[in-house]
A and B are shown apart, each in its own frame.
Chain A
Amino acid sequence: DAKTTQPNSMESNEEEPVHLPCNHSTISGTDYIHWYRQLPSQGPEYVIHGLTSNVNNRMASLAIAEDRKSSTLILHRATLRDAAVYYCILRDQGPNAGNNRKLIWGLGTSLAVNP
């Protein structure tokens, strides 16, 4: 299974942008990059996903390197409510993925936001 590498923890100040990196050097052509976040004592929440092109939604932006071996989740203005563990996950979405479509969760990056 493809794996991702993320820093254990990061810190940001409120109202500033945050760039959360993720390395996935063994990504395959049919792997989508998914980001979820988990607030304390809650279930994870979908943030964004992408394949090759950069993506934007109301929560965040996803910047994907041209070789797809790394990506960055961008929170444009961090708030205290953004303090969470952020998970970068590869998921095979190809037609032959079968049971390999499951999400494989790592340890994520614990983001602290300072007021």
Chain B
Amino acid sequence: DGGITQSPKYLFRKEGQNVTLSCEQNLNHDAMYWYRQDPGQGLRLIYYSQIVNDFQKGDIAEGYSVSREKKESFPLTVTSAQKNPTAFYLCASSIGPASIEAFFGQGTRLTVV
């Protein structure tokens, strides 16, 4: 079945370590996005990519990095510079940046201790 896969669903890391969250899609979508969600809050955009080998910062990019070497993959690295990394991370994709509908993965819950 086509869709977006985020792995793992739960992730624990020690403070000061970098960690990479995986996001893969087989929908042949050009645009991909990373969001962060904190308890009781809406989603906030971290990074987005409109096409392979291109990405832009969203509203809260500090402490995060991404790459888009393949159309299917858009991994997010949470670096040690991110002051408050514990959150629920959501990856999404759409046919293009102007598409109406975005498709979301199931999310990765990152806990940094």
Residues on the B chain within 8 Å of A34, using CB: 100
| Complex alpha-carbon distance, A44 and B4, angstroms | 12
Q: B66 an interface residue at 8 Å Cβ cutoff?
A: no
A6 CB to nearest B CB, Å: 11
CB distance from A112 to the nearest CB of B (A): 16
Give the chain A neighbours of B58 by CB distance below 8 A. Answer: 102
- Report whether over half of chain A's contact residues are helix, strand or loop; otherwise say mixed: loop
Q: Is the CB of B107 within 8 A of A99?
A: no
Are the C-beta atoms of B42 and A107 separated by less than 8 Å?
yes
Q: How far is the CA of A103 from the CA of B97 in the complex (A)?
A: 11
Q: Report the count of interface residues on B (CB-CB < 8 A).
A: 26
* Residue interface mask A51-72, B partner, CB < 8 A = 1: 0000000000000000000000
Instruction: Specify which of B41, B97, B104, B107 is in contact with A101 (CB 8 Å cutoff).
Output: B97
Residues from chain B with a CB closer than 8 A to the CB of A97 are: 98
Which residue of chain B has the shortest Cβ distance to A32 in the bound complex?
A: B100
Q: Which listed segment binds A: B11-19, B43-51, B72-80?
A: B43-51
CB B46 to nearest CB in A, in angstroms, measures 12
